[in-house]
Amino acid sequence: MQASGVQAPTSAASPAPPKKNYEIIPGLEYFAYATDILGNHFGSYKLNYIQAHILACLYYGQLGRVVPSFRHIRFACSAIIDKLQPSMDRLKREADLERGVSVDKTHKEHDNPESSEKTLAVDNKLLVAFWSCCQLESDILAELNLIPSGILQYEEILPYPNLMVLQEKLGFSDAVAFSYAAQLYLRKRLNRISGSLYDPNKKPDAAEQRAILEEIEEDLESRSHVWLGMYRFDRNDPPAKDILSARIRAKFWGANVITYRPSIKTVLDFSHKRSNAFSEDSERAIPHEDPGGWATVRSDARSPSDIDPIVFENARKGIDAVIKSTMAFHGLEDKRFIITNVFGTAHAQWGNLITLAAAYHDPLLGDFVNEKLLRQLLRKTIEFFEIVAQDTSSLAVDLRVLQGLEAGLPSKEQLGTRTNLIPPPPGPYDNLAMSSYASSGPTPHSGAGPSPITPGDLTQGHPTPMEY
């Protein structure tokens, strides 16, 4: 039989080449062209250039690429400060007026009403860009030790955007305008809390510590009706179902977490030292003052009764805040919800669960952490990480740590019967419904200053300028 001219294949067909990133990631090819164009305008400080860098920061943030995201926002921070320099003195006087500080009356701006209205709109576009840069850079710096742009030194100089202008001239809906204002206020409060509680150069005594905590609690709780406005909620409410409410609650609980975290660490340190039978090594290993200068348990303490009961109460509040912070985004239906900083949110969630796992194993704090709820939080957070963590990103390492925690988490029975050394928390979490939730959390960084919203701002239909 004569051989055919067509040779049969000698091996299986070659596998299809792997897909390129731009074929998988939505918008990446367009983004590459956009950043090329942006690079050709390097050094410009036109507002649309600044806004483009903010968008590039947000896009990289969605991919979990925090360092490229930070580079873009740092460019935007530097550019917006350059852009604001000619107006800095005038805006500072406006901020002083809003705060009730006397200013030089000889300066008269905006004599022409038409010019005044136009200037007001331009000013507020610039201020929105400025405060957006402050928030985005702060959120990244809360998680990574990178070199800041220096924009935060202008926080106490420049005013907040005007709510009425945002709504009437710039097209902000009421929901977005009030959400933006609440985010600004919470971010500044978080900065203030960080400065008060974690500054290694400040070493307040016990009385000063209590005064600081009372001031923080008063601001976050009693005055919340002023700055939360239409986003007010009860501490025991289930997670929010819309993204704007969820982001505000996430940042609110993040502020509570960093407020009470020193007390959690105090009890964990004491338990560690106690489990080592107060050996010489453990005495050296566990300081009696935390890195921020806050006094912890006195060196001669040997039993839980030697610890101030307020420390246990604050630790309980801290664990409650960690749980609520972790659950903040669990009410959203979209599993890949839109947030400004995926890395910061995910890494904060990771830290929350590390803290809860440590408290769960602790003989003094274990009763504050419900086993069933902890397993649910681990599962939900792992599912979120599986969506956002790329194989080559640092979040993939966080994911493997959480998977290890979930696999190795012992039951309460396995931990053994322990003596109840402190009373159980007043409200168990057994009845919290978790089945319809998704996952993520806040970035703990922000702070000082009076509320950007006054009671007048909260009157429907009558928006007023923000107070600085």
**For position 113, what pLDDT does the model report?**
52
**For position 423, what pLDDT does the model report?**
45
Report yes or no: 148 and 137 within 8 Å, Cβ to Cβ: yes
Q: What angle do CA 247, 164, 253 make, to 5 degrees?
A: 20
**Long-range contacts, 295-302 (Cβ 8 Å, 24+):** 295/205, 295/206, 295/209, 296/265, 296/266, 296/269, 296/270, 297/266, 297/269, 297/270, 301/270, 302/274, 302/278
C-alpha closest to that of 231 among 468, 444, 464, 453: 453
Tokens 């599986």 belong to residue: 386
| Distance between first and last Cα of the chain | 95
Residue 179: CB atoms within 10 A of its CB come to 21
**For position 193, what pLDDT does the model report?**
83
- Cα gap 238→251, rounded to integer Å: 16
C-alpha closest to that of 139 among 151, 127, 128: 151
**For position 307, what pLDDT does the model report?**
76
In the structure encoding, which two tokens stand for residue 187, read together?
Answer: 């971010």
Q: Which residues of 188-216 are buried (b: 16+ CB within 10 A; e: fewer)?
A: bbbbbbbebbbeeeeebeeeebeebbeeb
pTM: 0.77
- Cα gap 193→259, rounded to integer Å: 7
pLDDT along the chain (468 residues), means of 10: 52 65 76 88 87 94 89 95 93 81 57 67 94 93 90 91 90 92 87 78 73 83 75 89 93 91 90 68 48 53 74 93 95 83 91 96 93 96 90 87 94 70 45 38 40 39 32
**For position 460, what pLDDT does the model report?**
37
Dihedral sign of CA atoms 316, 318, 321, 326 in order: negative
**Amino acid identity at 28:** L
Q: Write out pLDDT tens, residues 50-81.
A: 999 999 999 998 888 899 999 999 999 999 99
- Cα gap 45→319, rounded to integer Å: 45
- Cα gap 282→276, rounded to integer Å: 6
**For position 253, what pLDDT does the model report?**
93
Report yes or no: 380 and 439 within 8 Å, Cβ to Cβ: yes
Q: Write out pLDDT tens, residues 387-431.
A: 888 877 788 999 999 999 999 999 988 887 544 444 444 444 444
**For position 301, what pLDDT does the model report?**
62
**For position 450, what pLDDT does the model report?**
43
Q: What counts of helices (H) and strands (E) characterise the chain?
A: 17, 0
